[in-house]
Copies of this chain bind each other. A is one copy, B any other.
Amino acid sequence: VESKHTIPRTSLAQVLYDFTAEPGNNELSVKEGETITITNQSIGGGWVEAQNSRGEVGLVPEDYIEVTAAPTPSLGNVAASDLSFFDAYAPASTPATNGNDPWSAWNADSSGGSTNNWASNPEGTQTGKSAPDPWPPVSHGHPQAYQGPGAEDDEWDDEWDDMKSTGGYAESEAGESGALQRGGSHATSMKISLNKFPGFSKSGPELYLLCKQLVKGKDRLPIYMGEVGPVWSYPETQLDCVVADPKKGSKMYGLKSYIEYQVTPSTTNRPVNHRYKHFDWLYERLLEKFGSAIPIPSLPDKQVTGRFEEEFIKMRMERLQGWMTRMCRHPVISSSEVFQLFVTYKDEKDWKMGKRKAEKDETVGVMVFSTMEPEAPDLDLIEVEQKCEQFSRFTKSMDDGVKEILTVGHEHWKRCTGPLPKEYQRIGKAFQNLSSVFTSSGYQGESALTDAMTAAGKTYEEIAQLVAEQPRKDLHHVMETNNEYKGLLGCFPDTIGVHKAAIDKVKEGDKLVAASKITQQDKVTMAKRASTMSYALQAEMNHFHSNRIYDYNRVMQLYLEEQVKFYETIAEKLRQAHSQFTTM
């Protein structure tokens, strides 16, 4: 069906798995293969409202469905992943559609087989091919990754954030000319674009291991030995950024509009404006440049419908803030030229120049290791391998732990905002109803009891409200933090994969020398460089651990603080209700 400029707020979806509604919970039972109509995507917490062919309407878990007909009939490229903004808290226990778990290579065979996620890709093309998403909805292959300088004339044009300003929900993403669509969740692995290095996809990290000349100069990234082991060089004052003040901008005489965020770095305290597409550009640059050594978490997911709704904008801003804060905290990233450009560019010309320069940077992919200089003796291969195994085990375990919290939290969120407050409301109503029956008794001196009972009933209605609002105050932060970590942890299989491939290559050293493929000197160089890679990995893990301890300490405190307040508020309300009854 062709619609013109108005997009209905509904879209069709295919049911991927059977889902049985919990009674009294506003849910809708659906069967695998069934086609349903999404009637409201703004439910949150991983749910959408949908209608089945019998006209029944109810909530369905977003990860049980796949959008088949997007709101825009003319422009393709609207994948199911566009719905996934609200899928952030989707239960991790959802069955995967295939075995492409990015963790699986490191899990079953921890003795270290030769497989990893992408180095062994038989097609030899990595460009723009997203790693398989372990969770449904299945991530669709996205179009070409960022297309480089040629696309720059589109810079201030908009393909992602725009809409016809007439008609409320007009055209969606054009996507084709520069969008890099991410998979369905934050856990999506990094997509490292390495097409500039033709040999890479076949040979893995040997581009770095065997390259003749290492980068020198200001790009140099020292690795020191700290108390906890290898550490990055940390700046004296940590950069911080505030993402704020989302504004609707427009161009082409109001025909197109978009949301612009204000980004203010603590260094200059001078705000710069950026749209989502600029964040996305930055993400791509960071992924390309540092992705082999440093997990670069995905941006908050894109979203087609409801992009201008306040709640969505608020949530996206909060997540962009979280992403920026994490990037700022990373000494290597925050001090990089491209990141500095993003937060401190002076004007459009400055931005365009810097942008062009960043896109021409050749020290990307595994070559980033060539800038790293550990100030410590080389490690032997056994130690390198042990460290790698240890990090692999730890990140896999933590991924499981984080996903368990997300699953449990998701369930709890659902209960706290659904059946539980409804029940307290019904308790409140029942007390009030009985109280008003009592009032009708015609018996004298009843009002002391009925006033108190009515007050008690109202108290339970207030408690219902408190219960329903509480998750946004506390559980929300636990979910966001764990969601961020799910995203970060999802990057490790790739990072560790590069490392594993390097180890394998070093192990092949003698064979390669024997076959005259490399010289004896090359072999020594490879071992030395694998040691450098290991220092980098250890520095990164230490960075990860210290941030992790800080983040979980903070979020647990915040959660418990709010929980204490919550239970105290209820106790106080009930104490007041109790005091209204007369002692007999």
Which residues does A use to contact B, with CB under 8 Å? 20, 22-23, 227-228, 390, 393-394, 397-398, 400-402, 404-405, 408-409, 411-412, 415, 419-420, 423, 426-427, 429-431, 433-434, 437-438, 440-446, 448-449, 452-453, 456, 542, 545-546, 548-550, 552-554, 556-557, 560-561, 563-564, 567-568, 570-571, 574-575, 577-578, 581-584
Q: Nearest Cβ in chain B — how far from A120, in angstroms?
A: 28
Q: Nearest Cβ in chain B — how far from A443, in angstroms?
A: 4
- List chain B residues, Cβ under 8 A from A456: 556, 560
Task: Please determine whether B404 and A430 come into contact, CB atoms closer than 8 angstroms.
Answer: yes
- List chain B residues, Cβ under 8 A from A443: 228, 542, 545-546, 549
- List chain B residues, Cβ under 8 A from A560: 456, 574, 577-578, 581
Q: Nearest Cβ in chain B — how far from A275, in angstroms?
A: 34
- List chain B residues, Cβ under 8 A from A390: 442
Task: Please determine whether B434 and A423 come into contact, CB atoms closer than 8 angstroms.
Answer: no
Q: Can you give 20 contacting A-B residue pairs, CB < 8 Å?
A: A20-B23, A228-B443, A390-B442, A394-B440, A397-B440, A398-B434, A400-B437, A401-B434, A401-B437, A404-B430, A409-B430, A415-B420, A438-B548, A441-B545, A443-B546, A449-B552, A453-B552, A456-B560, A557-B583, A563-B574
Task: Please determine whether A427 and B412 come into contact, CB atoms closer than 8 angstroms.
Answer: yes
A121–B389 Cα distance when bound, in Å, is 86
Given the interface pairs A564-B578, A571-B564, the reply to whether A431 lies near B405 with Cβ below 8 Å is: yes
Given the interface pairs A411-B423, A419-B415, the reply to whether A449 lies near B549 with Cβ below 8 Å is: yes
A275–B412 Cα distance when bound, in Å, is 48
Given the interface pairs A564-B578, A571-B571, the reply to whether A408 lies near B394 with Cβ below 8 Å is: no
A24–B430 Cα distance when bound, in Å, is 27
A222–B156 Cα distance when bound, in Å, is 97
Given the interface pairs A401-B437, A442-B394, A577-B560, the reply to whether A553 lies near B431 with Cβ below 8 Å is: no
A560–B402 Cα distance when bound, in Å, is 38
A553 partner, pick from B405, B430, B546, B582, beta carbons under 8 A: B582
- List chain B residues, Cβ under 8 A from A444: 227-228
Task: Please determine whether B564 and A574 come into contact, CB atoms closer than 8 angstroms.
Answer: yes
